[in-house]
A and B are shown apart, each in its own frame.
Chain A
C-alpha cells in the first residue's frame, strides 16, 4: 500500500522561530514531492516542490529531500502567526496517472 506519513501535531512554535515539518513515504519509485499549506475550510495551496535530493530554498521555506531514506522535510524560518495552518506532504507515486497521494498533514501553530 502506498503511504505518506506525517506527524499530525500540533506543532507549536513561537513567532520568529524555525518550524520543522517531516514526512516519509513508502514508494521508492516516487519522483515528485510537494508541500501544500491548507487553511481551515480552504483548498490546499502549493508551497514548495522538490524533485531531486538535497535542499531547495524559496524565501523563508526550505524543502529537503533524501530519496535513500524516503524522507522529505520542510523548514519554515522566521515563523509568523499567518503560517499557522495544516501542512500537507504530497508524493506522486509511480505506476501511471500521475496520482498525488497526501499525508494526513501536520497542524502548525505559531504563537506571538
Chain B
C-alpha cells in the first residue's frame, strides 16, 4: 500500500492558538488528499478534499476559515486549525488515493488536545 506520513502524531495546545498538521504522500504524487476528523467512539467524518494548486472543497458544516487547508505540492497537504478551542480536540487523519474510486491509504493520524 501507499505510504502516507502524517505529522505530528499528537499535539497539545492552548485554547486560542493555531496548530498545523502535515500530510505527506511518500511514494506517489497525490493531486487529491482528504482530511477526516474522528471523535471518540464515532466514525470518520470527511472534513474536506484538498486539491493541489486550488482551493479545498469543504463538507457541509465545516468552517473553512477555521480549518485552513493548503495543498501546495503534489506530495504535501497541510491542515491548520486556527484559534483552537477544546471542542476541536479530536483525532485528525489524512488520506490519499492513487486513482479515482480506488482504496484510500491513511496517515497515522494526529491526536489534537486543546486545553
Most B CB contacts (10 A, CB to CB) among A31, A92, A100 go to A100
Surface stretch bound by A, among B62-70, B73-81, B99-107: B99-107
**Number of residues in A with C-beta < 8 Å to the partner?**
23
> Which chain B residues border A103 with CB–CB below 8 Å?
43
Pairwise interchain contact B49-A46, C-beta atoms closer than 8 A: no
Q: Select B34's contact among A31, A34, A99, A105, beta carbons within 8 Å.
A: A99
Pairwise interchain contact B109-A98, C-beta atoms closer than 8 A: no
Q: How far is the CA of A49 from the CA of B43 in the complex (A)?
A: 19
Q: How large is the interface on B (under 10, 10 to 19, 20 to 34, 35 or more residues)?
A: 20 to 34
> Which chain B residues border A31 with CB–CB below 8 Å?
101
B93 within 8 A of A: yes
B 42-76 to A, binary, CB cutoff 8 A, 1 in contact else 0 = 11111001000000010000000000000000000
> Which chain B residues border A102 with CB–CB below 8 Å?
36, 43-46
CB-based nearest B residue for A4: B43
CB-based nearest A residue for B49: A97
The smallest C-beta distance from B38 to any residue of chain A, in angstroms, reads: 9
Chain A positions within 8 Å of B, measured between CB atoms, are: 31-32, 34, 41-46, 49, 51, 88, 90, 92, 97-105
